């Protein structure tokens, strides 16, 4: 009994017991199964599967685009969190609720909606793939509205289409489309991790910095950012982890062209479709390892940054 008293908080053994049991059942055992299954392969076979050109190309697509999406979300998510925490404006509650929507939406729905929007015949895709036509169309309509002649209107629309012919951007069915989907699903993570910190942050801190002569950028760089960095990194890591594992929304917009826009989860699914469990788990194991290393790096960075902050920067 004497030993148990050491913990001031009650329920230590119960909660720790459940923590371990829960983590083992939900996380560790399934993950171990992946490594056990992939151990059926000889090292040479394992290496041949995980280093096949198509699989390697898919790592680049999955990890590269997930990092990019998490990075973009960190910048714009911070801005969103900032405006939600610092200002009050009409419809703020609505915007606040909108941020969580990508969480709630089934990923397949998100994928189909984004594809419909960005495909060559979609609202946005039409403009992005042929900006000249769209601008020309608007200009010609304006000209007609102002009472201009039909010939000039036609000339306007044609010359616009011609001048901007090379500037079209294809989003759906390209890696760019994958990036759009990953940004969509990762947005809430950064906002929701940074927002509470910003709300707790006293504005006096910024005012003090300003009164001591700091410029706006200096206040942000030396006062706000160090405090926000740990939360921002957590948001980045969560958004990244979610993006790497994402299948449902990406698969509709990717086009799935070998060596160009195949994501690693698709490579795993294709192996499962051929009843190649061992091959699928081999790729999954590599994916897990890569993700783990990257997340570990982010965590180390985070510890380092919060220690730096505590030292008084």
> Is 42 a residue that touches other proteins (CB under 8 A)?
no
> Is 251 a residue that touches other proteins (CB under 8 A)?
yes
Q: Which of 52, 161, 301, 309 binds other proteins (CB under 8 A)?
A: 52
What string marks each residue from 160 to 179 as x (binds other proteins by CB under 8 A) or -?
Answer: ------------xx------
Closest CA to 80 of 181, 186, 205, 178: 186
Distance set, CA 29 to CA 238, 269, 282, 288 (Å): 22, 21, 16, 14
Q: Which residues contact 214 (CB under 8 A, 6 or more apart)?
A: 222, 223
> Is 270 a residue that touches other proteins (CB under 8 A)?
yes
Choices 92-100, 115-123, 187-195, 293-301 (CB under 8 A): range interacting with other proteins: 115-123
Closest distance of CB 266 from other proteins, Å = 8
> Is 14 a residue that touches other proteins (CB under 8 A)?
yes
> Is 245 a residue that touches other proteins (CB under 8 A)?
no
Q: Which of 255, 278, 295, 309 binds other proteins (CB under 8 A)?
A: 255
> Is 258 a residue that touches other proteins (CB under 8 A)?
yes
Distance set, CA 199 to CA 25, 109, 233, 301 (Å): 36, 33, 17, 23
Nearer to other proteins, 99 or 171 (CB): 171
Tokens 């910095």 locate to: 209
> Is 192 a residue that touches other proteins (CB under 8 A)?
no
Give the whole-angstrom CA distance, residue 10 versus residue 257: 56
Other Cβ atoms within 10 Å of 117 Cβ, number = 16
Give the whole-angstrom CA distance, residue 193 versus residue 178: 24
Nearer to other proteins, 233 or 254 (CB): 254
Nearer to other proteins, 9 or 14 (CB): 14
> Is 256 a residue that touches other proteins (CB under 8 A)?
yes
> Is 9 a residue that touches other proteins (CB under 8 A)?
no
Closest distance of CB 204 from other proteins, Å = 46
> Is 128 a residue that touches other proteins (CB under 8 A)?
no
Choices 30-38, 52-60, 217-225, 237-245 (CB under 8 A): range interacting with other proteins: 52-60
> Is 134 a residue that touches other proteins (CB under 8 A)?
no
Give the whole-angstrom CA distance, residue 107 versus residue 182: 11
> Is 106 a residue that touches other proteins (CB under 8 A)?
no
Give the whole-angstrom CA distance, residue 29 versus residue 120: 45
Return residues touching other proteins (CB under 8 A). Answer: 14, 49, 52-54, 112, 115-116, 119-122, 172-173, 251-252, 255-259, 266, 269-276, 279
């Amino acid at each position: 009994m004497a030993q148990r008293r050491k913990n001031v908080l009650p329920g230590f053994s119960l909660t720790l017991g459940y923590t371990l049991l829960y983590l083992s059942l939900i996380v560790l055992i399934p993950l171990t199964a992946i490594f056990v299954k992939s151990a059926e392969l000889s090292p040479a076979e394992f290496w041949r599967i995980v280093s096949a050109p198509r699989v390697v190309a898919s790592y680049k697509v999955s990890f590269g685009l997930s990092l990019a999406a998490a990075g973009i979300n960190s910048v714009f998510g911070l801005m969103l969190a900032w405006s939600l925490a610092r200002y009050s404006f009409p419809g703020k509650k609505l915007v606040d609720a909108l941020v969580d929507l990508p969480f709630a939406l089934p990923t397949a729905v998100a994928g189909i909606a984004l594809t419909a929007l960005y495909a060559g015949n979609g609202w946005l895709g039409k403009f992005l793939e042929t900006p000249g036509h769209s601008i020309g169309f608007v200009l010609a309509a304006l000209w007609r509205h102002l009472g201009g002649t039909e010939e000039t209107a036609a000339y306007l629309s044609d010359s616009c289409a011609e001048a901007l012919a090379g500037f079209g951007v294809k989003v759906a069915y390209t890696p760019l489309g994958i990036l759009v989907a990953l940004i969509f699903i990762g947005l809430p993570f950064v906002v929701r991790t940074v927002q509470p910190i910003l709300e707790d942050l006293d504005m006096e801190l910024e005012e003090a910095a300003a009164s001591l002569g700091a410029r706006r950028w200096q206040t942000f760089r030396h006062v706000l950012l160090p405090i926000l960095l740990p939360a921002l990194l957590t948001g980045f890591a969560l958004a990244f982890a979610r993006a790497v594992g994402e299948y449902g929304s990406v698969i509709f917009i990717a086009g799935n062209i070998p060596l160009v826009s195949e994501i690693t989860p698709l490579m795993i699914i294709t192996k499962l479709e051929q009843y190649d469990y061992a091959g699928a788990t081999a790729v999954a194991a590599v994916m897990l390892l890569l993700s783990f290393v990257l997340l570990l790096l982010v965590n180390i960075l985070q510890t380092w940054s919060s220690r730096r902050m505590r030292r008084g920067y």
